[in-house]
Amino acid sequence: MSRLLVCAPDYFRIDYEINPWMRLSNAVVPERARAQWHGLMRLLEAKIGALLERMEPVPGLPDMVFTANAGVAVGRRAVPSRFRHPERQREESYFEAWFRDHGYEVTTLDKDLYFEGAGDLLGLPDAWFGGYRQRSDIRAYGRLSEIFGREIIPVELVNSHFYHLDTCFCPLSGGELLYYPPAFDRYAQAAIAERIGEARRLVVPESEALRFACNAVCVAKQVVLPEGCPETIKRLEARGYTTHPLPLDEFMKAGGSAKCLTLALE
């Protein structure tokens, strides 16, 4: 059973611009956002069989819907995020409190060691990968590697449209990787290729990467992804995955999609 932390979009809106997708002039339509979010939740519960842990949204924290950035939780241990932008730093205490109130053993990072949670740290059976440059600090991965006792391969994100690792990199349950290579520098592309053989790498075309095809939720053989990604769907289905495309464009206005709206609680 897969447990996911989610937070309803009650206060979701575009209040500031901290990534190239966000424009103050491109306002969220609240009832559409609500309907899209509930559609995702229904699908996760009914089709994916996920158990949803819902946290209380907080007025004035519009990006709290993106619980992938709450932190990272493995077993009973959790490390809450340290956001780079002051606009999101106010979310930190709420996420930390949630982990504490739910029995996690919480380890906090220094204030200036930026780390944006499962938005930037993702694992495959072979290795964990940590995205850095745009949001998280490469130094965070040395510390996280000590905390979790796992090797973490830092990968540099070079395109501001793909500012979190989960916007361009999606490990699948069968050990394959769905990703968009140009979002990484050459060294990171080589590090990924070295760990994950070509037969296991599913490359997403640019047009679909820009529709957040990689921001997918994969549980067992089910993949939930934003609609408008037919090539990605073909590639996934050829590997035996069942795909569930959903309209999530209201969340793209903030630079997010399906995966960012969830945090896997192992």
Given the rule CB under 6 A, which residues bind ligand ARG? 18-19, 22, 63, 66, 68-69, 88, 119, 164, 166-167, 254-256, 260
Q: Is 102 a catalytic residue?
A: no
C-beta closer to ligand ARG: residue 168 or 188: 168
Provide CB contacts within 8 A for 190, sequence distance 6+: none
175: left (phi over 0), alpha (psi -120 to 50) or beta: left
Q: Is 164 a catalytic residue?
A: yes
Provide CB contacts within 8 A for 68, sequence distance 6+: 117, 118, 119, 164, 166, 259, 260, 261, 262, 263
Q: Are 211 and 226 contacting, i.e. CB atoms less than 8 angstroms apart?
A: yes
C-beta closer to ligand ARG: residue 66 or 148: 66
Out of 7, 218, 229, 260, the active site residue is 260
Q: Are 259 and 63 contacting, i.e. CB atoms less than 8 angstroms apart?
A: no
Name the minimum Å distance from CB 197 to ligand ARG.
Answer: 27
Name the minimum Å distance from CB 217 to ligand ARG.
Answer: 12
Out of 7, 164, 168, 214, the active site residue is 164
136 secondary structure, DSSP code = S
Name the minimum Å distance from CB 21 to ligand ARG.
Answer: 7
C-beta closer to ligand ARG: residue 104 or 169: 169
Catalytic positions are: 164, 260
